[in-house]
Amino acid sequence: TINRLILDEGNLARASLVVAAWALYLKGVDENGATYKIPDPRAEFCQALVADDALITQRLLAVEEIFGSAIPKSAAFVAAFEQNLDDLRTLGVSGTLEKLLVAKA
């Protein structure tokens, strides 16, 4: 789990990528600009968390029922999450995955 990775000071790049990808998924717009509906009864609540790009980290990770308390307090996780969020926006999914794989090698 992410909490275990934080406790063990493990590599958070891949785990934070999953959370960053989910954050962007919640926006309801893919990297090509196509919109889609999110089939989730809490979609409206979750989409409100990611509506303001500047506040995604603070709003999304602060939801304790989803992330608990350790994840938003982990500077390493937050930094990895923000890096992946930025990479997904600028490099796209393929570019972000490629970057992650190259870094692992």
DSSP notation for 46-61: HHHHTSSGGGHHHHHH
**What pLDDT does residue 89 have?**
95
**What pLDDT does 52 receive?**
96
CA distance 43 to 77: 24
Percentage of residues of the chain with pLDDT beyond 90 = 95
3 has pLDDT over 80: yes
Task: For 48-61, give one letter per residue: b (16+ CB within 10 A) or e.
Answer: ebbeeeeebbeebb
Tokens of 97: 């995955």
- Specify the amino acid at residue 21: A
pTM of the model: 0.92
Q: Show the domains of the chain with their CATH numbers.
A: 2-104 (1.10.1040.10)
Model confidence at 105, pLDDT cuts 50, 70, 90, reads low
